[in-house]
Amino acid sequence: MAQIKTPRFEVTDGTLIPDKGEKSIFSAWKLAFFGAISLLIILPVVKPDPYFQILKFLPDGILATFQVTILSIVLSFFIGLITGLGRISRITVFNRIATVYVEVIRGIPLLVQLFYIYYALGKIVQVPRLASAVIAMAVCYGAYMGEIFRAGILAIPRGQMEAALALGLSRGQALWKVILPQTIKVILPPIGNEFIALLKDSSLVSILAVSDLLRRGREYASTSFMYFESYTIVALVYLIITLFLSRLVAIMEERLVRREK
């Protein structure tokens, strides 16, 4: 009997990216991106008060959002590297620690982790708000990055390791000089997607009174009682940033594919 292959499909939380061959000026990505930019320009021009006033109130919040995002992604990168190596390690203790870390962290919502690090651990050691936000985001995304590293390392053909060992390199040298450089190229697109996801999730740090984009929007809304206008502008800014970054990730992925060919 012939085996029936089960169809597979993939669902991600990434933003909408047009296919490589899609050249239509009415693609969904272009409609969303340029539509958001148009609204962000038109609204302050048509109704400067309050839309232009809101825009003037947000720049430092945007900088804080990028600050939290960049620091978190850099720290989570190194946590993910260590975790990924632990997940494939032959040393049982190291492997178990890394595996338990991944399972525990992925089983706890990011919001709970933010509360736990800032409020619960605050009784033991006082951590500044920004540092708490970065630590919580890095610890949470480090678990996901660890799985990305693990999958990337396992995607490299075993012959690469065997060839390196045959040339006289130790297993550690082969890993750092041969396997990991190739792994980085493989996992760059997923890391880019994690960066975008982390940027969106950074809105949660506003609960710690970190003056990010969402927090600044809430501050303006609470003083002016213009909640619809404030959150409309905040949503448009988030949408533009994430769509722009998703386009950069798509371009990077296309270039990597071209180099491999």
With contact defined as beta carbons under 8 Å apart, do 91 and 118 qualify?
A: no
The pLDDT-based confidence of 239 (bands split at 50, 70, 90) is very high
With contact defined as beta carbons under 8 Å apart, do 73 and 198 qualify?
A: yes
Please report the pLDDT score of residue 7 as a whole number: 44
Please report the pLDDT score of residue 102 as a whole number: 94
Backbone angles phi, psi at 8, to 5 degrees: -120, 145
With contact defined as beta carbons under 8 Å apart, do 199 and 69 qualify?
A: yes
Q: Which residue has the higher pLDDT, 5 or 41?
A: 41
**What rounded mean pLDDT belongs to the chain?**
85
Checking if the pLDDT of 260 tops 90, the result is no
With contact defined as beta carbons under 8 Å apart, do 161 and 169 qualify?
A: no
Q: Which domains does the chain have, with CATH numbers?
A: 48-260 (1.10.3720.10)
**Residue 44, helix vs strand vs coil:** helix
With contact defined as beta carbons under 8 Å apart, do 226 and 104 qualify?
A: no
